[in-house]
Amino acid sequence: MTLSVCFLSAELAPWAKAGGLGDVVAALSVELARRDVETSVVMPRHRNPELERLAAGSRRVLDSADLQLGRHAFRYHVLSCPGPLGVQLFLVDCPELFDREGVYGGGGDEHLRWLLLCHAALALWRTIGRGPDVLHCNDWHTAAAALLLRADQGHPALAHTRSLLTIHNLGYQGVISAGLATELGLGDEALERLDAGDLRAGRINLLKEGIRAAHAVNTVSPTYAREICTPELGMGLHEDLSTRPGGVIGILNGIDTRTWDPAADPLLPVHYSARTPAGKHTMRTLLCEKLGLTPGPAPVVGMVSRLVWQKGIDIALPALEQALAEGSIAVAVLGSGERELESALGGLGQRFPGRLAFRQGHDEALAHWIEAGSDAFLMPSRYEPCGLNQMYSLRYGTVPLVRATGGLADSVQDFDESRETGTGIVFRDADSNAVAWALGRMVELFRTPARWNRLRANGMAVELGWERPAGQYVDLYQRLVRQPVP
């Protein structure tokens, strides 16, 4: 029988994207549908003009459902419409919670938004009459669905359904006050399953509850799967993760090689490939013109990032400043996030005009231009569950400079000059000396074109698509389906 999988996600590119989660759910779901897995995605009807166009052709599969979360009463609908390439899309329509600017609100009702999404997904499948084989939850926003499924497992539509929780980022856990327990909308039995230690401490951790309830848990790279089982990177959940029966499985993300293809990228005015690399040089010139950079013979270093602690931008700043003062690099940065990081980058741009360009905001096209037009790409992350930009960089012939953590360690191999193997420059420590070392090594290699071209070609030859990881997910789904409910 055909395997059926339903993703529950806050994000789905291109309609709702704050980071890599949106890219991953979009590309993985399409790849699964291509393999004849019956694939659906349940997401909020976020405020987005393109999503509105999709919704215009939709039909209501769940009409005027009511949900009481503590003292809050909500009415919502679920719309069904064809999603991307063979994927069935279900939009949870609750304007009160989702018709807002941006995917995440960060307001006092954030937990209500995501709990409603989880409840709506289960109500949808109960109404349809047969749930998917696997309910694939992603991050804390949808982790509660694993808990709700346990409580609903007696329902004939859901008795066979298994839950998989993918952790894309342990840094966000959805911790709320224990006083809000009634707002989870759980029955008494399910409430009793909540972590007693947390309740005593006055809190409920939605990600932890999902980890405890899910039939399987995975994360987005093998190294991060190991790291989060240690106190250093487990962010308080290492014991829950390391003692889980079945452990934490690591599956390295792929990238959407159709969207991110230097030979056909519709967001680029010029195309190139490993065999026809001339366009990369043109893209570099165009990028520099667009951003007002005058690098001369120095390499252009790109960065596209959420500007948050995780990404280690603050660690890189002193090293960038030093290299800029020496005139050995030029830098193109696109990002938004914490005020202090934005103003530090803006300040560097003023001190080094023509050498560092900082563009604040979210700009899909510029992200592609920076990947294509830069010589190297810097990711000094403190931790990185997977990271997608280093893989985009490999594909775009842009040498990644990455810290050896999580998925960065799994997707970039340090260049070995004697054997000419490796795809980037990998540094170990989370400090500016390590970043300075990596920048220095990059500048050296860049001065020897034969070496540099080899390093770039090694990266461009790496297989990065979703074929392999999608196969690993299908294996995992099949194992789950065969497994009796514990």
Residues across the chain = 486
Please tell me the number of Cα atoms within 13 Å of 209 on its side-chain side: 33
Comparing CB distances to ligand GLC, the nearer of 295 and 385 is: 385
User: Under the criterion CB under 6 A, does residue 373 sit at the interface with ligand ADP?
Assistant: no
SS3 assignment, position 124: helix
User: Under the criterion CB under 6 A, does residue 261 sit at the interface with ligand ADP?
Assistant: no
Comparing CB distances to ligand GLC, the nearer of 218 and 328 is: 218
How do strand 59-69 and strand 425-427 relate by DSSP bridges? unpaired
Q: State which amino acid sits at residue 390.
A: Q
- Scan residues 124-183 and list those touching ligand GLC (CB under 6 A): 168-169
Q: Which stretch binds ligand ADP (CB under 6 A): 50-58, 59-67, 192-200, 383-391?
A: 383-391
CA–CA dist 191, 234 (Å, integer): 25
**Options 304, 319, 434, 439; binder of ligand ADP; rule CB under 6 A:** 304
The interface partner of residue 213, options being ligand ADP, ligand GLC, none and the CB cut-off 5 to 8 Å by kind, is none
Angle formed by the axes of helices 313-326 and 339-351, to 10°? 0
Comparing CB distances to ligand GLC, the nearer of 24 and 370 is: 24
Please tell me the number of Cα atoms within 13 Å of 120 on its side-chain side: 35
Binding characters for ligand ADP, 325-364, by CB under 6 A (x = yes): ---------xxx-------------------------xxx
- Minimum CB–partner distance for residue 363 and ligand ADP (Å): 5
User: Under the criterion CB under 6 A, does residue 400 sit at the interface with ligand GLC?
Assistant: no
- Minimum CB–partner distance for residue 394 and ligand ADP (Å): 13
DSSP 105: -
- Minimum CB–partner distance for residue 251 and ligand ADP (Å): 14
Contact assessment for residue 374 and residue 285, using Cβ atoms and an 8 Å cutoff: no
**Options 147, 158, 220, 320; binder of ligand GLC; rule CB under 6 A:** 220
**Options 20, 131, 400, 424; binder of ligand ADP; rule CB under 6 A:** 20
User: Under the criterion CB under 6 A, does residue 21 sit at the interface with ligand GLC?
Assistant: yes
CA–CA dist 224, 211 (Å, integer): 16
- Minimum CB–partner distance for residue 432 and ligand GLC (Å): 22
How do strand 203-205 and strand 175-177 relate by DSSP bridges? antiparallel
- Minimum CB–partner distance for residue 19 and ligand ADP (Å): 3
Minimal CA–CA distance to 379: which of 319, 417, 347, 426?
426
Show the tokens assigned to 339: 């005020």
The interface partner of residue 220, options being ligand ADP, ligand GLC, none and the CB cut-off 5 to 8 Å by kind, is ligand GLC
Comparing CB distances to ligand GLC, the nearer of 44 and 254 is: 254
- Minimum CB–partner distance for residue 297 and ligand GLC (Å): 33
CA–CA dist 122, 114 (Å, integer): 13
Minimal CA–CA distance to 400: which of 374, 419, 363, 369?
374
User: Residue 38: which residues within 8 A CB-CB, separation 6 or more?
Assistant: 2, 3, 4, 5, 88, 132
The interface partner of residue 336, options being ligand GLC, ligand ADP, none and the CB cut-off 5 to 8 Å by kind, is ligand ADP
The interface partner of residue 219, options being ligand ADP, ligand GLC, none and the CB cut-off 5 to 8 Å by kind, is none
**Options 28, 206, 388, 402; binder of ligand GLC; rule CB under 6 A:** 388
Which single residue is written with the structure tokens 């939709």? 58
The site for ligand ADP, by CB under 6 A, has a size of 18
Comparing CB distances to ligand ADP, the nearer of 185 and 469 is: 469
User: Under the criterion CB under 6 A, does residue 20 sit at the interface with ligand GLC?
Assistant: yes
- Scan residues 250-289 and list those touching ligand GLC (CB under 6 A): 253
Show the tokens assigned to 354: 């023509």
Helix (H) or strand (E) holding 207: helix 206-213
Residue nearest to ligand ADP (CB): 20
Query: DSSP for 379-417?
Result: E--S--SS-SHHHHHHHTT-EEEEESSHHHHHH--B-BT
Task: Kindly list the distances between the CA atom of residue 228 and the CA atoms of 15, 59, 135, 222, 249, in Å, as whole numbers in the listed order.
Answer: 30, 42, 23, 10, 11
Instruction: Give the angle subtended at the CA of 282 by the CAs of 277 and 286, to the nearest 5°.
Output: 145
Comparing CB distances to ligand GLC, the nearer of 305 and 458 is: 305
- Minimum CB–partner distance for residue 305 and ligand GLC (Å): 10
Contacts to ligand GLC by CB under 6 A: 19-21, 24, 168-169, 220, 253, 384-388, 407
> Interface residues with ligand ADP (CB under 6 A)?
19-21, 23, 304-306, 334-336, 362-364, 367, 386-389
